[in-house]
Structure 1
Amino acid sequence: MKAKVTILFLALVTFFTGAIAQTLNLNGIFDETKKPVLFYFHTSWCVYCGLQSRMLKKDVGLIKELQSEFNVIDFDAESDTEVSYKNYLIKNVNPQKYRPHPFVEQFKNTGEIGYPLWVLVDSNLYVQFIYQGYLKKKQLKEIVDFYKTKRKSSN
């Protein structure tokens, strides 16, 4: 229960004041659970991100399925959120529209980043999956089912 509360808190971090940046502490997530982390990177201006977010908000069952297999992190790709992992602190010192956070840039696999951007990483931040674009409910469920099967076969 503590892990769920911590993950929910991290995923829904809010500003206390405009002057204090948020911090996403990945150490806590990986210390409390061994589940992979599914990052959902999006922007305020991206039409497909808006569609993806609305689809996710409407389907509580899908959200529960995703959270059963993954630690899901909803991350504004242009925010000033600081990301802390091990001895690293990644800051977006000059957040601007159309300029991705340096943390997001770590996951680009082509010259440009397309949004929404889905990245699945294991507890060592090794990338398992990257997808740029809108994922349909069926596709998200297939990802969940694949990792459920993979987890069961490894036990």
Structure 2
Amino acid sequence: MITVRLRQYRSTLLIAAGLFTSFICDAQINPVNIAKVDSLMKQKAKPLLVLLSTDWCQYCRMQKNQIQKNDDFAAKANVFYYIEFDAESKTNVLFQGRKYVFKPTGKNTGTHELAHALNGPGTLAFPTWILLDRNYQVLFRHGGVLSPDQLKELLAVIGSMTESE
């Protein structure tokens, strides 16, 4: 009788541990595809946090890795849409009802029009962070890596934006 109860207890404990583990795994940050932003914004408007990056940029990879491990980012991820956009993507993108395309600058090189539009005037730098409000108005741009403290400050601003609305 005691052996049966211990097995049941152990089974219950294993199930609970599995659920806890799956909860932790679900906390991982999953960026929104830029092509889905307009439809998501129609369903529920939220601030947009965009990371412009490239595949070859080591600092971009480092920043993305830091984001995946950042508990504050995971905790606030439901109050904004997080988008990672490859500035050298060759995919056409419809954003705010306008079509943006890749513009070649040489053989096998070029940048996407949307990266330039989000970056604003000036030279593209990678990574670049852009924060847009619910009306797609740019509130913040930062060319370069955000430190954990800077990221925490940015997340606090995003949190206060959603609390005040």
Which TM-score band (shorter chain)?
0.7 to 0.9
Determine which of 67, 74, 85 is the counterpart of 1:64. 74
Q: What's the counterpart of residue 142 of structure 1?
A: 153
Q: Which residue of 1 aligns with 2:57?
A: 46
**Other structure's SS at 1:103 match:** helix
Larger Rg: 2
Deviation at 1:94, TM superposition (A): 4.1
* Aligned residue identity for 2:83: I
Query: CA, structure 1 residues 86+112, in 2 after alignment: closer, same or farther (shift >3 Å)?
Result: closer
Kindly indicate whether residue 56 of structure 2 is the aligned counterpart of residue 31 of structure 1: no
How many residues align structurally?
135
* Structure 1 moving runs of 4+ over 6 Å: none
Structure 2 match to 1:90: 100
- Whichever structure has more helix as a proportion of its residues is 2
Q: Which whole-Å CA distance do the structure 2 matches of 1:100 and 1:25 have between them?
A: 20
Distance 1:99 1:65, change over 3 A: farther
Q: Deviations over 1:4-24 (max 9, x none)?
A: xxxx5843xxxxxxxxxxx71
Counterpart for residue 111 of structure 2:
100
**SS of 1:89 mapped into structure 2:** strand
Shift of 1:82: 2.3
TM-score by length of 2: 0.70
Q: 1:80·1:91 contact (CA, 8 Å) conserved in 2? A: yes
Q: Which runs of 5+ in 2 are unaligned?
A: 1-29
SS in 1 for 2:162: helix
Q: Which runs of 5+ in 1 are unaligned?
A: 1-7, 12-22
Structural RMSD (CA): 2.4
Question: Normalising to structure 1: TM-score of the pair?
Answer: 0.74
CA contact (8 A) 2:89 2:102 kept: yes
- 1:36–1:71: 8 Å Cα contact kept in structure 2? yes
Could you tell me which amino acid in structure 2 is paired with residue 146 of structure 1?
V
Q: 1:29 Cα deviation (Å)?
A: 2.0
